[in-house]
Structure 1
Amino acid sequence: MNTIDYLRISLIDKCNFRCQYCMPEEQELNYLLSEDILTKQELLTLVKQVFIPLGFTKFRLTGGEPLLRPDLVDIIAEINNLSATRDISLTTNGYLLANQAQSLYDAGLKRINISLDSLNQDTFDEIIGNHGKSRWHQTWLGIQRAYDVGFNPLKLNVVVIPGVNDSEVLDLAQLTINKNWHIRFIEFMPIGNSQLFTKKAWIPSEEIRQQIRAKWGLEESNIRGNGPADVFKIPNAKGTLGFISQMSECFCDRCNRVRLSADGWLRPCLLNETGQVNLKKALRTGKNINFIQKKVQDLLLLKPEINFKERESGTNNIYSRTMSQIGG
């Protein structure tokens, strides 16, 4: 049985982008009210009194866009200062990062993942649903600032969308040659009813690897992270290339994580909600910690039987919840 020790915590469901694979513009958004989101104290109570006693040592903060949460730095500092914390990381779109990178780093955050789906300004704006002033340059500034501050590893997440940004695979992979950056190519997923998705609207990771292999060669890397990426590198490159192949190469047997949504639902899988537990309700109705721990333990025992591919049956391969609502 795989050890489940990694908790992804969605801090907020709001985002300042409308990425097609996460918060598609054709889908109406119903953001949570502030009182429906777990407070800082509720989050810390769950981390300290429920998850750490159950063996969790790795925490990733996500959204929506977590940099929109005003108490983010305090949350990072408090989790980082816990003796049981082995790793704390964050996923962001990078737009607000230039002004916050130093304070995040000083609070104890050392690892960061930044979404960067295109190096082309127009393509970037198309993907993020931007119809006004381009946000590419501010996002790129945030990436550069994070690198200068000292985040290591600095990972750039690329969702590869056929006909949109797949022609940039080599340009993005090249970023790893001279910088200790880690590019992670992610297969496009059927999240949020995006009109981009059909049964053939994703490119298998192996096809992407073949492109890179034909250009520079490709070798396996001895660097391994906390997640499901298969890691390679261009020979003699400073950085690495990760491939997250949730559509073509199911990795459920290697999954070591559960997800806590901004409104307090603990879910065992990105695309399968079997056994989900409402921890916010348990806290706010006065359930004691032992009761909550038992609920989480029951979910953890159930997790090995849960396979995200099961979501295909009877659902037409479409998942109604947006990525922002489940924390990515």
Structure 2
Amino acid sequence: MNQVDYLRISLIDRCNFRCQYCMPDSAEIDYILRQDLLTHQELLTLLREVFIPVGFTRFRLTGGEPLLHPGAVELVRAIANQPETKDLSMTTNGFLLSQKAQALYDAGLRRINISLDSLEPETFDKIVGSRGRSRWLQVWEGIQTAYRVGFDPLKLNVVVMPGVNDGEVLDLAALSIDRHWHVRFIEFMPIGNNELFGDRGWIPSAELRQQIRARWGLTESQVCGNGPADVFQIPGAKGTLGFISQMSECFCDRCNRMRLSADGWIRPCLLNESGQIDLKTALREGVSTLELRDRLSELLALKPEINFKERNSGATGAYTRTMSQIGG
């Protein structure tokens, strides 16, 4: 089991997109009330006095859409300035990135993942639930701005859905050839939109690699990320191709992460709701950060069993939260 040192932090559960794989069209989302969100100070207290002391040194800011959080830039600066922080990144849908990329970079953010599930504006808008004005161009401009500002690596996340965007795999992979961009293909999961998953299913990463290999060839890359992606490269390409195969391959033994929700719940496994702890309520009730540290240490010790022994119990689609509420 890898050392668990990577924390995904959901800053906010709200999003300005409604992606098909994240939440169904029919879903009524009960967004977290403002007073129930972790405050800026509570989040930093948990990081400094609970997570960092037990060994967390790598952090990713997520949402919902993290750039909707009014204090996103300030939080980036505060976390980047922690002497123990070895890595800080963000996952965003890119819609607000053209406005905020420079400020994020100046605050200390260097790595960013941007969701780009299609190069076809019509398909893209269908996936993200855009009604009316297309959102594709503004996201593309955000990607270009982040590239110019200097984000490196710049990663593009693609959730591959049969019959929706699987016909674009080669076009999306080609983005890695001439630019130092890293494309990550992610298998569709039964979290967030179980109905669509049941209708569409998922495509194994091995099939996507075979498509790419038949077109250009494909070699294993020497570049290793902080997560579970298997990384490859088109010969001569500047960027890489990663494959996150959570459906076709169990990579629990390589999992090095936990997830902190916007309302302060720590979750040890994406595919399993067992073992969650409400850190925010405990903090507000006066439980000492030393006691919270002990509780987190106990959960860390249980994480391998939650991942392995009970993982199938979390793959039924009966989740109490959507992917947007978990933070991906």
Task: State the match for 1:224 in structure 2.
Answer: 224
| Cα 1:255–1:316 shift into 2, 3 Å | closer
Following TM superposition, by how much is the alpha carbon of 1:29 offset from its aligned partner in structure 2, in angstroms?
1.0
TM-score for both structures, normalised by structure 1 = 0.97
Note if contact 2:10-2:327 (Cα within 8 Å) is conserved in structure 1. Answer: yes
| Cα 1:321–1:311 shift into 2, 3 Å | farther
Note if contact 2:194-2:317 (Cα within 8 Å) is conserved in structure 1. Answer: no
Counterpart-to-counterpart distance in 1, 2:91 and 2:105:
14
Following TM superposition, by how much is the alpha carbon of 1:289 offset from its aligned partner in structure 2, in angstroms?
1.1
Q: Tell me the SS of whatever aligns to 1:114.
A: strand
| Cα 1:140–1:315 shift into 2, 3 Å | closer
Q: Tell me the SS of whatever aligns to 2:196.
A: coil
Task: State the match for 1:42 in structure 2.
Answer: 42
Task: State the match for 1:4 in structure 2.
Answer: 4
Note if contact 1:97-1:143 (Cα within 8 Å) is conserved in structure 2. Answer: yes
Task: State the match for 2:277 in structure 1.
Answer: 277
1:131 matched to 2:135: no
Counterpart-to-counterpart distance in 2, 1:213 and 1:232:
10
Q: Tell me the SS of whatever aligns to 1:238.
A: coil
Note if contact 2:273-2:314 (Cα within 8 Å) is conserved in structure 1. Answer: no
Task: State the match for 1:322 in structure 2.
Answer: 322
Task: State the match for 1:167 in structure 2.
Answer: 167
Counterpart-to-counterpart distance in 1, 2:308 and 2:322:
15
Note if contact 2:5-2:55 (Cα within 8 Å) is conserved in structure 1. Answer: yes
| Cα 1:282–1:318 shift into 2, 3 Å | closer
Task: State the match for 1:211 in structure 2.
Answer: 211
Task: State the match for 2:145 in structure 1.
Answer: 145
Following TM superposition, by how much is the alpha carbon of 1:308 offset from its aligned partner in structure 2, in angstroms?
6.8
Moved over 6 A (4+): none
TM-score for both structures, normalised by structure 2 = 0.97
| CA deviation map 1:186-233 (0-9, x unaligned) | 000001234211286100000000000000000000000100000000
Following TM superposition, by how much is the alpha carbon of 1:24 offset from its aligned partner in structure 2, in angstroms?
2.0
Which amino acid in the other structure matches residue 94 of structure 1?
A: G
Note if contact 1:24-1:192 (Cα within 8 Å) is conserved in structure 2. Answer: yes
Task: State the match for 1:78 in structure 2.
Answer: 78
Counterpart-to-counterpart distance in 2, 1:41 and 1:303:
27
Which amino acid in the other structure matches residue 236 of structure 2?
A: N
Counterpart-to-counterpart distance in 2, 1:313 and 1:263:
24
Q: Tell me the SS of whatever aligns to 2:291.
A: helix
Identity over aligned residues, as a percent?
A: 69
Counterpart-to-counterpart distance in 2, 1:51 and 1:41:
14
Task: State the match for 1:289 in structure 2.
Answer: 289
Number of residues of Structure 1 aligned to a counterpart in Structure 2: 328
Which amino acid in the other structure matches residue 272 of structure 1?
A: N
Task: State the match for 2:255 in structure 1.
Answer: 255
Counterpart-to-counterpart distance in 2, 1:67 and 1:228:
25
Counterpart-to-counterpart distance in 2, 1:234 and 1:182:
11
Task: State the match for 1:299 in structure 2.
Answer: 299
Task: State the match for 1:30 in structure 2.
Answer: 30
| Cα 1:225–1:36 shift into 2, 3 Å | same
Which amino acid in the other structure matches residue 319 of structure 2?
A: Y
Counterpart-to-counterpart distance in 2, 1:309 and 1:325:
25
Counterpart-to-counterpart distance in 1, 2:56 and 2:265:
17
Counterpart-to-counterpart distance in 2, 1:312 and 1:131:
36
Following TM superposition, by how much is the alpha carbon of 1:130 offset from its aligned partner in structure 2, in angstroms?
1.0
1:177 matched to 2:177: yes
Q: Tell me the SS of whatever aligns to 2:4.
A: coil
What is the alpha-carbon root mean square deviation over aligned residues? 1.4
The more displaced of 100-109 and 288-297 is 288-297
Which amino acid in the other structure matches residue 120 of structure 2?
A: N
Following TM superposition, by how much is the alpha carbon of 1:279 offset from its aligned partner in structure 2, in angstroms?
0.3
Counterpart-to-counterpart distance in 1, 2:77 and 2:23:
29
Following TM superposition, by how much is the alpha carbon of 1:309 offset from its aligned partner in structure 2, in angstroms?
8.4
| Cα 1:55–1:136 shift into 2, 3 Å | same
Q: Tell me the SS of whatever aligns to 2:211.
A: helix
Which amino acid in the other structure matches residue 53 of structure 1?
A: P
Note if contact 1:269-1:308 (Cα within 8 Å) is conserved in structure 2. Answer: no
Counterpart-to-counterpart distance in 1, 2:253 and 2:300:
14
| CA deviation map 1:254-288 (0-9, x unaligned) | 00000000000000011212111100011100111
| Cα 1:37–1:210 shift into 2, 3 Å | same
Counterpart-to-counterpart distance in 1, 2:212 and 2:183:
12
Following TM superposition, by how much is the alpha carbon of 1:318 offset from its aligned partner in structure 2, in angstroms?
4.3
Counterpart-to-counterpart distance in 1, 2:70 and 2:314:
40
Task: State the match for 1:110 in structure 2.
Answer: 110
Note if contact 1:193-1:319 (Cα within 8 Å) is conserved in structure 2. Answer: no
Q: Tell me the SS of whatever aligns to 2:117.
A: coil
Counterpart-to-counterpart distance in 2, 1:286 and 1:313:
33
Q: Tell me the SS of whatever aligns to 1:305.
A: helix
Counterpart-to-counterpart distance in 2, 1:285 and 1:313:
32
Task: State the match for 1:92 in structure 2.
Answer: 92
